[in-house]
């Protein structure tokens, strides 16, 4: 199967992009693996005609918006991020009426429709930098409440209004889960993704995106880590740090949508060209603005 994928990649002029949360076997065959920010940058630079995006729908959609000349294929069209839908256009309108200088800051984990109504996108690795750089005092941060709260703590000079969206994978990790592992391995450093609840972030030695967590663990002289994010990062963590120990907090830290990406489905879309991502011109033009602004401000 792997030879066939390689052959088809050449024949179709395709590259495979994968988020760190997909299955190990899919990460193994990917040409580019990374967090959401890295992947958004990569789609702007790849030469290939076709991008097979192993992630969830907002990622494939963003790839098409950022680089509309490419054919973007998703191994499984039903791989969707529930949090991407957890904000309301009407509420954005209400907030804009209430605050003259409002900036709507939209986590990239959102539908293209929500992006159309936003001023700038962010990812978990650049949200603090971008919010700090905005001239606006009042910020409506959508959809993720936990990332929004984390940003608010780092940027106290702004009035950050939170929305009640959440990632079910990250909020499944509890402070008790972390404390129980810490009791067993007291020397282990706690590394947490900012989509985790405040009670978990309060216990963290480091808070960052998936790439941030991997880079921190790899650069650290510590040898044991408690990881508070999705299980898929274990693949890179172990590959880069075979002698270090990683303990994942929680029992439900698996994103079922990310796990819908399989090697078989990658082969299938390469063969058939099925599952192509389409975005209407109107939505693409409107949602490109906040994405481009993110790439500019995050530089
Ligand atoms: P990052 O890729 O920014 O770490 O975000 C994690 C995530 O939840 C992607 O779905
Ligand atoms: Fe969405 Fe959470 Fe899955 Fe990321 S891990 S795709 S935020 S549900």
214-226 pLDDT, tens digit per residue, is 999 999 999 999 9
Place of tokens 């994405």: 291
State whether the Cα torsion 223-227-232-233 is positive or negative: negative
How far is residue 296's CA from residue 183's CA, in Å, rounded to a whole number?
44
- Look at residues 215, 218, 95, 100 and name the one whose alpha carbon lies nearest to residue 148: 95
pLDDT per residue as tens digits for the range 120-160: 999 999 999 999 999 999 999 999 999 999 999 999 999 99
210 pocket-lining for ligand 1 (C-beta < 6 Å): yes
pLDDT per residue as tens digits for the range 160-180: 999 999 999 999 999 999 999
Q: What is the pLDDT of residue 1?
A: 86
pLDDT band (50, 70, 90) for residue 2: confident
109 pocket-lining for ligand 1 (C-beta < 6 Å): yes
169 pocket-lining for ligand 2 (C-beta < 6 Å): yes
Beta pairing, strands 32-34 & 14-19:
parallel
At a CB cut-off of 8 Å and minimum separation 6, what does 27 contact?
Answer: 18, 20, 33, 232, 235, 236
Total residues found in the chain within this entry: 299
123 CA → ligand 2 middle, Å: 12
83 pocket-lining for ligand 2 (C-beta < 6 Å): yes
Q: What percent of the chain has pLDDT over 70?
A: 100
């Amino acid at each position: 199967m792997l030879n066939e994928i390689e052959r088809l990649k050449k024949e179709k002029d395709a590259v495979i992009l994968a988020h760190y949360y997909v299955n190990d076997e899919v990460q193994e065959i990917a040409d580019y693996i990374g967090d959401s920010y890295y992947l958004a940058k990569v789609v702007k630079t790849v030469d290939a005609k076709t991008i097979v995006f192993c992630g969830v729908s907002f990622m494939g959609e963003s790839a098409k918006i950022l680089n509309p000349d490419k054919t973007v294929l998703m191994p499984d069209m039903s791989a969707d991020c529930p949090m991407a839908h957890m904000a309301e256009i009407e509420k954005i309108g209400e907030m804009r009426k209430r605050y003259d200088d409002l900036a709507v800051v939209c986590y990239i984990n959102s539908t293209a429709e929500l992006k159309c109504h936003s001023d700038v996108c962010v990812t978990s690795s650049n949200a603090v930098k971008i919010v700090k750089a905005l001239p606006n005092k009042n910020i409506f941060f959508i959809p993720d409440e936990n990332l929004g709260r984390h940003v608010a703590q780092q940027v106290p000079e702004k009035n950050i209004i939170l929305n009640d969206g959440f990632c079910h994978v990250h909020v499944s990790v509890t402070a008790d889960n972390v404390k129980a592992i810490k009791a067993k391995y007291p020397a282990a450093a706690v590394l947490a993704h900012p989509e985790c609840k405040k009670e978990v972030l309060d216990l963290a030695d480091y808070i960052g995106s998936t790439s941030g967590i991997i880079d921190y663990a790899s650069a650290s002289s510590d040898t044991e880590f408690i990881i508070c994010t999705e299980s898929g990062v274990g693949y890179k963590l172990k590959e880069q740090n075979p002698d270090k120990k990683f303990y994942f907090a929680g029992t439900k830290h698996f994103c079922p949508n990310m796990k819908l990406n399989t090697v078989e489905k990658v082969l299938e879309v390469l063969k058939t060209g099925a599952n192509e991502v389409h975005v209407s011109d109107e939505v693409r033009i409107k949602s490109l603005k906040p994405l481009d602004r993110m790439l500019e401000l995050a530089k």
